[in-house]
Amino acid sequence: MIQGAYPQRLLSRETAEIWFQHLQNCDYHGVKRRIEAHIKVSQYMPTIAELYEQPVEETTILETIHIWEKEGAERIENERRNEWARPAPPWAR
């Protein structure tokens, strides 16, 4: 796609290997969208930085809920410890 859009610029094998090395872990469709958007607005070939899309870490709802439950339990335990350490208010004595 890039070679077709920029025929005046030859893409060397070395350049293609460098691009592949840096973009191989990115989402294919995300990089393709960035290439298409770049072609529409620039007469120059894009750089790796312009095409790079940070890989998204996949999580599941169950993992997220488990993390929330663990954090909540720790917070409740800390609150209980702090209650025991605090002196009782005068009206509760």
- For 6-25, the pLDDT digits (tens) are 888 888 899 889 999 999 98
How many other β-carbons are positioned within 10 Å of the β-carbon of residue 48?
Answer: 14
Q: Which residues of 55-81 are buried (b: 16+ CB within 10 A; e: fewer)?
A: eeeeeeeeeeeeeeeeeeeeeeeeeee
pLDDT bucket at 72, cuts 50 / 70 / 90:
very high
Cβ–Cβ under 8 Å, residues 48 and 22: yes
Token digits of residue 85: 């350490």
Higher pLDDT, 48 or 2: 48
Residues 41 and 63 reside in one and the same domain: no
Residues 46 and 78 reside in one and the same domain: no
Residues 49 and 7 reside in one and the same domain: yes
Residues 22 and 35 reside in one and the same domain: yes
Residues 51 and 67 reside in one and the same domain: no
Rg, C-alpha atoms of the chain: 27
Higher pLDDT, 39 or 86: 39
Residues 18 and 39 reside in one and the same domain: yes
Domain that holds residue 80: 59-93
pLDDT value at position 93? 66
Q: How far apart are CA 84 and CA 35, in angstroms?
A: 60
